[in-house]
Amino acid sequence: MYELFSDYRDQLIYTVAVIILLMIIQFVLRKAANKVGKRSEINITRTRLMFKYINILILLIAAFLLAFAWGVGLTDLSLIFSSVFAVIGVALFAIWSILSNITSGIIMFFSFPYKIGDTIKIHDKDLPVEAEIEDIKAFHLHLRTSDGELITYPNNLILQKAVSLIETHRRNDEGKDAL
């Protein structure tokens, strides 16, 4: 057992250092996302979605750094990552609208001026919509019209259209009207 530790001492130290560093970075990123969420009065479920994106990013960085630490050569590592990204790129090109909606959801998390409970009007010449924002998901908004109709509106389109705020009506996390 001692030989195992002595043979791989440098790799083990590097692994522990990378894990600690990435845990600190993850903590800071999650804290920042939580702070932005609270400051902007963003629903906690949207903040948790950002946490998932942060976890995925940290996991990818960890895989890259740890593979490099344990002796995978830079050319081998670049071959693996370029192959994986080529496959992912082809898959994402085939379903680009999903990637577009996820990216829009991330942008909306940090800079969308409307909140859950607000009544908005989307100025679309083909389908004008006036409705209350019921929920903001990773791919789309749930909008409820005055007739009770539920409309799912893609995130990428909401960033491309002109939107007017009709009425501000906030709800707290339990779904009750805020005072």
Q: What is the pLDDT of residues 51-90, one digit of tens each?
A: 888 898 899 889 888 888 887 777 887 787 788 878 877 7
Helix count and strand count (H, E) for the chain: 6, 5
Query: What is the reported pLDDT for 131?
Result: 93
Sheet of strand 119-123: strand arrangement: 150-154, 140-144, 129-136, 119-123, 162-167
Give the integer Cα–Cα distance in Å for 96 and 156: 11
> What average pLDDT score do residues 101-119 get?
84
The secondary structure of residue 178, as a DSSP letter, is P
Q: Which amino acid is at 128?
A: P
Q: What's the chain's length in residues?
A: 179
For tokens 């999903």, the residue is 98
Give the integer Cα–Cα distance in Å for 15 and 96: 35
C-alpha atoms less than 13 angstroms from C-alpha of 169 in its C-beta half-sphere: 13
Helix (H) or strand (E) holding 14: helix 9-39
Give the integer Cα–Cα distance in Å for 19 and 30: 16
> What average pLDDT score do residues 99-114 get?
82
